[in-house]
Structure 1
Amino acid sequence: MKIAAITATLIAAFAPIAFANEKAPASARVDVKQYQYGMQLDIDQVLQRTDNSRESGVVPSVMVYRDSQGDVHAVRFLEWGGQTNQNG
């Protein structure tokens, strides 16, 4: 249980640094908003998102989407990478 708490604390501590290095996709000409838990997103069509299929662990991601009114938005969030460690 202590390991989980330490891991969560480290992720929370380093997330701002990871996000500072993450840039919005080139096609996004909109402000990237930080996702907050419970935020209501009106997603009609996903236009682009960060490919984290070769990453492992918790990594930053950006999704660019069109809402039901046709406006384009971008949101930044953390997600698990698609790579799994096969060690051991």
Structure 2
Amino acid sequence: MKALKAILAISMFAVSSIAMSAGFDKDPVRILQENQRAMDAYAAELGKPAPKVEMYRYGMELDVARVISVTRKAKVCGVVPARMTFLDSKSELRTVEYQAVGGGCRRG
């Protein structure tokens, strides 16, 4: 009986965690905020200033030596902001924000 209760408790925790993460993935603003915190921490570890977010412009030339992070797609159908953080050829951290199609559209 104790084992059944333990399994039930673990199952409920797993389901609630999945539900919470599914809701989180639908909010592109929170995804960007989470990424910003992570990139600030990464920059601090390297002893570099946190990268300022640049808005991508069509035709903008990017000097990408190494990609550090790309935000995951929000699970919504539509255009959402996304970010890519990278090191350029001068080893400076840069972040570019651009528009991308969310990952929640049905294919058909």
- Which TM-score tier does this pair reach, normalised by the shorter chain? 0.5 to 0.7
User: Is contact 1:43–1:65 with CA below 8 Å preserved after alignment?
Assistant: yes
Instruction: Report the RMSD for the aligned CA atoms in angstroms.
Output: 2.4
- The size of the alignment, in residue pairs, is 68
Q: Which runs of 5+ in 2 are unaligned?
A: 1-27, 41-49
Partner of 2:94: 73
User: Is contact 1:25–1:62 with CA below 8 Å preserved after alignment?
Assistant: no
C-alpha distance in 2, partners of 1:42/1:51? Answer: 22
Cα deviation 1:61-88 (Å, max 9, x = unaligned): 111111122111001110111222269x
Distance 1:85 1:38, change over 3 A: same
C-alpha distance in 2, partners of 1:77/1:43? Answer: 15
Larger radius of gyration: 2
Q: Which aligned pairs between 1:4-83 and structure 2 lie closer than 5 A? A: 22-23=32-33, 25-26=36-37, 27-28=39-40, 29-52=50-73, 54-83=75-104
Distance 1:67 1:51, change over 3 A: same
Aligned with 1:25: secondary structure? Answer: helix
User: Is contact 1:64–1:72 with CA below 8 Å preserved after alignment?
Assistant: yes
What displacement does 1:55 show? Answer: 3.1
Q: Which has the higher contact order (CA 8 A, sep 6+)?
A: 1
Q: TM-score, normalised by structure 2?
A: 0.53
Q: TM-score, normalised by structure 1?
A: 0.63
More helix by share: 2
Q: Which runs of 5+ in 1 are unaligned?
A: 1-17
